[in-house]
Structure formats: structure tokens, C-alpha cells
Structure 1
Amino acid sequence: MTTRYTSGPAADLDGIQSVIDIAQQAAEPTTLETGKVYAVRTAGGGTQTLNLTGPEYTGIPARKQGNTTVRDAESFAAYFEKHADTDTEVYADADRLTVTAVLDAHTATAARWSGHRLTLGLRKTESWEQWLQLDNQLMPQEAFAEFLEDHLPELLEPSAAEMLEIAQSIQGAAKVEWQNSTRLSSGQRQFQFVETVQAKAGQKGQLTIPEQFTIGLIPFEGSEGYKLNARFRYRITKDGGLTLGYKLERPGDVIRKAFGDVVTAIGEQIEQPIMNGTPA
């Protein structure tokens, strides 16, 4: 057997080509996938971690977060059902008139972010605000009569028709001299007045209004309606004029009752207990 050895320029070229092939394979780019972690070798021979699991790579947030505000119990229950779990905590704050659910609250054995929340922020109705704004305020006859006319749908007892008649009677007796008032056995208040026309002898008249009346108001948007009693207030001024108004009986109790009913309605639709207070 004869052994042949190759040497010279041809052998050197073969070795150089092999080195080039290996270098090209090592430098060939590799497609990376999002949602994974890679360890890559640096030019200096070290190793660098490349984390592609963040939301800037995947397009998906790392966790749920944010505070969603709704305005009624039904909306609260709908959002709650979608995102809550067995460790979700719910708090009712009667002072702030809010119900807050910490949807990702801590579990019994592990901490969670507590950054995904749902808040029921009750909003008072316009009619409630208007009645409260003028509560215990005396106003001129015509202004008071116009207020009653604008709120006839909310007048329950006496009926809206009777209250409209009273309002019109008040307007009709706007330019008279009021003398006194008498409380009748029925509880109504009777006002005596004198109307003077073109310097002639005065004509006497009477205006009778109930001592109190009942209104029906919806305190919060999306809530039930509640009855409130109101007492007529009046004052005969020194110049013979008449100012009228009303005093609502314990409107704060109605607000608390309405809020409690909202909390009860929510509690009937969820399994988690509702605690009294506010979350941390």
C-alpha cells in the first residue's frame, strides 16, 4: 500500500475554506419568538439574557389593572361577574356612597397586586338635587308657584292636579296685601289677604294650602323611588308680601336607605360578602 501526502498551496486553501464555512454558520441569524427567554453569546465570549416575555414584545399586558367606575347596581354586577374570583373583596362606604370591589385582592396564602378595581359611584338625580337645593328656603310667591308647576310629576299627596290649582291660586294672588294666617282643624293653613283695585275699597280673599305634602323622588340614577314628606313654610313680610317654601323631613335618612337598598341588590347578585368600609 502506498500512502500519499498532500502538501503545498492546495492543502492550505482547503483548510481556509473550512474555517470560513464554520464562521458563516456561527454568524447566521436566528429568528427569535416572542414570549420566550434566550441566552445569547456576546462578542467577548460572555452570555447575555434576552427576555421577550414583556408586554412590549407580546402585545399582552402582564396583568389586569385599572379602576372602572359604573353608575348603577346592574352595571356593577355585569362587570363583577366577568372579572371577579373567589378571593375578590367588596367594600361599601355609606359616607362616600360608593361600593368598591378589589378584583385581584390578596389570597389567604399569597399576595396579589390589588390593582384591578371596580367602583360603583352613585350619581344623584337632577330632581333630587333641585328639591334639596331649595329645602328650607323661602321664596317669592311666583317663584314658588313656578317651582311646583315644574315638579308636578313628583307631587303625590295632595295630587298633582290639586297642587297645580294651589300654585295657580298663589300666582293669582300675587299682587295683594297679606294680613294673617290661620291653621284650620283639618291641618291646612288659610291665609287672609286684601286686594285693592284702583284705590277702591279692598276686596278680601282667602288662600288655603295644606300644612304638608308628599313627594316621590329617585335619589340616585338607576335606583328606586322613595317618598318624602315636606312641610309648607311661609312668612308674611312687613310690607304685606308673602314668601313660601318647604322643609323636607329627614332627607338624609332617605339617602342612607336608598344606598342600603343598592348594596342589598348587589349582594343578592354576588357570592362574596360585602364589608363595611374602604379597601387599602
Structure 2
Amino acid sequence: MQMEQHPNLADSLAKEMKAPVELLIGAPGQTRRVALPPGWTLEERDDETRLGAPLRKRAKVRLLDADSFIEYVKRHGSLVDSTIWGKADYQAGKVEFVSIINDHGEDDTKPQWRDHTARFSPEFSEEWRRWFGGNRKPMSQAEFAAFIEENLKDVASQDGAGLPTGAQMLEMALSFEASQDMRFKSAIRLANGGVQMSFTQDDDDQTLQKMQLFERFAIGIPVFWNGDAYRVDARLRYRVREGKLTFWYELIRQDKTLEAATTTLITKIREQTGTPFFFGDPFSQ
């Protein structure tokens, strides 16, 4: 029995009928309601899966790189009904994009379901993961020397900037490693902005080991996987306790570097898709 949809029709029939009565709402293949006798529950069934093809596109996909995200939006979206949303927490190092393929357009008479989405979170480069992950974490002399040697190729210098080269950082790191069994004795600030440290062995106070410590250095690393490299400045810090040195580095405004890389990525997405772009959460409550 086919009937027009009515707010209380199914409930009324459920109280009066002794046997199930099927009410088809809309065209076959769409959701239909079934009114059951008293004491039974009201169920919903969807026969769309029995059709030869879905009535409309629905999907929730996650892409792994910017090119795939762009191509998916271009393949399934439209300039009228699709949107792209972006949100970022640069301090926490989080960036995410989501495209709603069937979003509401400007025509109020043609609402959409907003259930076909594509998500993309840019993958950070290995270099960024290492330096960002170790930011402000104390390390022993041996640990810091090993870290510098492992990531030596990331150290960058500029002419006239007074920053150490990779070779100088390596020399300093090796001096740390050679001095790890010695006690810290003194530190003298140099005219070039560095610090010269003196170490002495526990059993011979006359034996001195000197090395130069750079208070500031720079690294050149890509922010996102397979992306362009950016310069990030860093401060080198140390603490002396019981004659032992602890080192750490502090990245200077790495959030601005991440913001710059994200802005470049947004420009690429906008230009290649032509889709309206918004900053925010499209599904916030």
C-alpha cells in the first residue's frame, strides 16, 4: 500500500493494524518505513543497495599527497557545489584540508547532502619530524654529538651571517664526544658570538680541553614530504650540573616556517582546483 508521507501516519497504523504494513515514501529504491503492530519498534530499511547503481555519489576518502587531493577534487567536484576547507594549529604542528564534493551551493533551492568528502593532511618530511620532535629536549653530550652527526646535512649557513657551517658543527660535535668523560671548568664568550668552553679530566686538573660552542645556527629542511626547503634558525642552549653538560636546541618561530609552507600549499590547491576555499571546520556543531 503506497501512501503520502505523514508525520504520525506510521505510529497511528502501528497502533491499529495487527500485521505489518509497508509504506513506500518517495520513489522505489529510496528509504522506506515499515509500520509494525503495537509493542514493536519502527524500523528503517534502505533498498538502494539492491539497485544497479547508487542514486548519488557518497564517499569518505583520505588522500596522502597534495597532487592526489587536487586530482580527486577536480575529478568528482564542481565549481558550483564543491568547497575546500582548511584548518591549522601551527604551534602544535597540525594542518588539515577537507573538500566537500557535494556541498551547498549559492542556490537555496538546491541543497546538497554534504556526505561526499575528501580529506588530506600533509605528511611532514623526515627532517622536519626529527628537528621538530627534538625541539627543546635535553640531551647529554654524547646524545647531542650523535644527533648533530646524524643530521649534519641539514645545517645551513649564509655568507656574512656569522652562522656555523656544517663542517664546523661536526667539529664541535666531535669535540663534545671526545670531552664526554671530562668535567666542565669554564666558559668564555668570544667576540664572534660563540662560547669557548674548557674541560678538565677528573684525575688531572691541569689537563684542559677547549672547544667552541655556537649559540645560534640555522638549518635548511623541507617542511612537507617532497616539498621545498625552508630556513629555520635555532638557539643552542646548555646547562651545567655537577660538572656535566646538558645540551638542547630551541627552534626560533618554527610555527612561522610551517605557516609559510602551508600558505604555499594553499595557493597551489586554490590555483589548480579553482574551488572556493574557506578557513574553518565545515562540520562544527
Q: TM-score, normalised by structure 2?
A: 0.74
Query: Is residue 2:210 matched to residue 1:206?
Result: yes
8 Å Cα contact 1:92-1:100 kept in structure 2: yes
Structure 2 CA distance for partners of 1:93 and 1:208, relative to 1, 3 Å: same
Q: Number of matched residues?
A: 230
SS in 1 for 2:174: helix
After superposition, give the CA deviation of every residue in 1:157-186 in whole Å (9 maximum; x if it has no partner). 333222222111110111112111111110
Structure 1 residue aligned with 2:200 = 194
Cα drift, residue 51 of structure 1: 4.3
Structure 2 residue aligned with 1:131 = 131
Cα drift, residue 200 of structure 1: 4.9
SS in 1 for 2:239: strand
Structure 2 residue aligned with 1:264 = 267
Structure 2 residue aligned with 1:41 = none
Code of the aligned partner of 2:52: G
8 Å Cα contact 1:99-1:263 kept in structure 2: no
SS in 2 for 1:124: coil
- Give distance in 2, aligned partners of 1:171 and 1:138: 16
SS in 2 for 1:81: helix
Cα drift, residue 111 of structure 1: 1.0
Query: Is residue 2:97 matched to residue 1:94?
Result: no
The 4+ residue runs of structure 1 with deviation greater than 4 A are: 48-55
Structure 2 CA distance for partners of 1:102 and 1:192, relative to 1, 3 Å: same
Instruction: Give the superposed CA RMSD.
Output: 2.3
Structure 1 residue aligned with 2:230 = 226
Cα drift, residue 79 of structure 1: 0.7
- Give distance in 2, aligned partners of 1:57 and 1:100: 30
Structure 2 residue aligned with 1:156 = 156
Stretches of structure 2 lacking an aligned partner (at least 5 in a row): 1-22, 31-46, 158-163
Sequence identity percentage: 27
Code of the aligned partner of 1:178: F
Larger radius of gyration: 1
Residue 60 of structure 1, aligned match among 49, 53, 59: 53
- Give distance in 1, aligned partners of 2:84 and 2:215: 45
- Give distance in 1, aligned partners of 2:235 and 2:205: 35
Residue 102 of structure 2, aligned match among 76, 101, 104: 104
- Give distance in 2, aligned partners of 1:59 and 1:248: 57
SS in 2 for 1:79: helix
Structure 1 residue aligned with 2:147 = 147
Structure 2 residue aligned with 1:20 = none
Q: TM-score, normalised by structure 1?
A: 0.75
Structure 2 CA distance for partners of 1:51 and 1:162, relative to 1, 3 Å: same
SS in 1 for 2:273: coil
Structure 1 residue aligned with 2:18 = none
8 Å Cα contact 1:71-1:221 kept in structure 2: no
Structure 2 CA distance for partners of 1:232 and 1:56, relative to 1, 3 Å: closer
SS in 2 for 1:234: strand
SS in 1 for 2:193: coil
